[in-house]
Amino acid sequence: MAVWQRHPRYSLFIFVTLALTFYLLGPYQSSPPPTTAGGRAWPAHDLPNRLARSEHIYQKLLQDRKGLIKKWGPTVKDIQLFPPNVSPWPAYTVWDFFPAAYNCPHEVQRLGALGDGGKWVCGLSRVEHKPDCIVYSFGINYESSFEAEILGNTQECQIWGYDFSVKSFGPQIPSTQASRTHFHPYGLAGKDSHGPGDDPKMYTLESLMKMNGHTHIDILKIDIERWEFETLTALIKPYLASGRPLPFGQLQLEVHIWNMNFQEYLVWWEMLEAAGLRPFWTEPNLVYQNYNVGGSTDLAEYSFLNIKGSNVFIKDSPDHSHHHHD
């Protein structure tokens, strides 16, 4: 005779206990896959849908930013970048309004030195075998671990480096890779200034691309000690006016908020967003803060993906889904 027939009460107790256990555990089970507005599951490895989901998440962040401004403002003019420690003390800094809320649809890895000098890159595998891979790096400071790792992890990438304060890339670039690097002691600016009496010579990004015969840049690194505001404003505004996508796939940028107010910074940041730039990683420069005792954290690294146009990080070529896994 079966156990449940000999001990019906015991069996019923076991059954009820198990049913109750599964019921209570229900909310803690893995949630169903996220769905689109139409109720369909998001394909896990479908690039357009992953980008769409990331943008959906980012748009929620934009609404949250408005709420945070209202909470601490209530207007933009009332927000301080780094509020003083007074009573009542606002528990925020400027960086709380601009989190890196966009999800890179590829692998994210840090290239270069840990600490100052390294940068976070989205989807380096996308250019691992790309024959026309182009990298521009502004602000070398004789530290080229970032550029060296790009060379070591790709087969075809060519790197153009610019810095008027040094005479070459840093020692991290191996001599065997010298043919893939191109250095010039120029500066990046919002307008050209490279006449006979101009020292240092300054160029816009567009002018340098024309000089080099380039129509696109895959990875753009900029660390130019606060000139990023003037430079990127001059670069981006014509593209916004014409509706053209920016000519680079992603941007690694060190932001220096010196002598600015929140309203100025917000206008500049919203210009980046309007042009299709989405921050997928951020890292405050704590070394700078540590060595400036009593100073604020007004330097931060940001990495952006350009979601407009057809750059290699947001569009698959016909053979790309197989190519970058070789």
Q: Return per-residue pLDDT of the chain as tens, 326 residues.
A: 554 455 556 555 555 555 555 555 544 344 444 555 455 554 556 999 999 999 999 999 999 999 999 999 999 999 999 888 767 777 888 999 999 999 999 999 999 987 767 899 999 999 999 999 999 999 888 889 999 999 999 999 999 999 999 999 989 998 888 899 999 999 998 899 988 889 889 999 999 999 999 999 999 999 877 778 888 999 999 999 999 999 999 999 989 888 889 999 999 999 999 999 999 999 876 555 555 555 557 788 999 999 999 999 999 976 554 444 43
134 closest CA partner among 59, 204, 65, 208: 208
* Separation of alpha carbons 243 and 121, rounded Å: 26
CB 307 within 8 A of CB 299: no
CB atoms within 10 A of CB 204: 17
Q: What is the pLDDT of residue 13?
A: 54
Q: Is 47-323 a domain of CATH 3.40.1170.20?
A: no
Domain positions in the chain are 47-323
CB atoms within 10 A of CB 134: 23
Q: What is the pLDDT of residue 243?
A: 95
Q: What is the pLDDT of residue 108?
A: 97
Q: What is the pLDDT of residue 324?
A: 41
DSSP β-bridge partners for residue 160: 136, 182
| pTM, 2 dp | 0.82
